[in-house]
Amino acid sequence: MPELQRRMAKVSTDYDGNLVVTADSYQSGSLVRARVGVLSSREPGARRSWSGGRIPSACWHAYRDVLAALFDQRPAARVRTALAVYRGREGFERDYPATAYRNVGSAMQPAYMPELCDCDG
């Protein structure tokens, strides 16, 4: 986990230091469970809920950058997120762009991850 935290700190500088690995993260052998969060929902790297409210979650672009840094360290890693399962760097690079088109809102009020942040991503 220390390596993940070091890489996260490096990526976080691109978001004014706002990205963090949340406290409920842990490591057991080769399994690492981590959640990317933000210190402030009003700073770079934060995203809004599908209804427009501010939430302490990392935006789509911040996740992209964190996962890219992870695959720099472990090119064959398997990563499961709420939107996809990535099998290695190749799977990430192939499948990540499509997550931009998944509706995370409702049928009446569709919302897409890239639209829910205030960063320049």
Model confidence over 13-58: pLDDT tens digits? 999 999 988 766 666 666 677 788 899 999 999 999 988 899 999 9
Q: Is the pLDDT of residue 89 over 60?
A: yes
Residue matched to tokens 């490591």? 27
> Do the beta carbons of residue 64 and residue 96 sit within 8 Å?
yes
Mean pLDDT across 55-82: 89
pTM listed for this prediction: 0.86
Given this model, what pLDDT does residue 80 score? Answer: 86
Q: How far is CA 57 from the centre of its chain?
A: 8
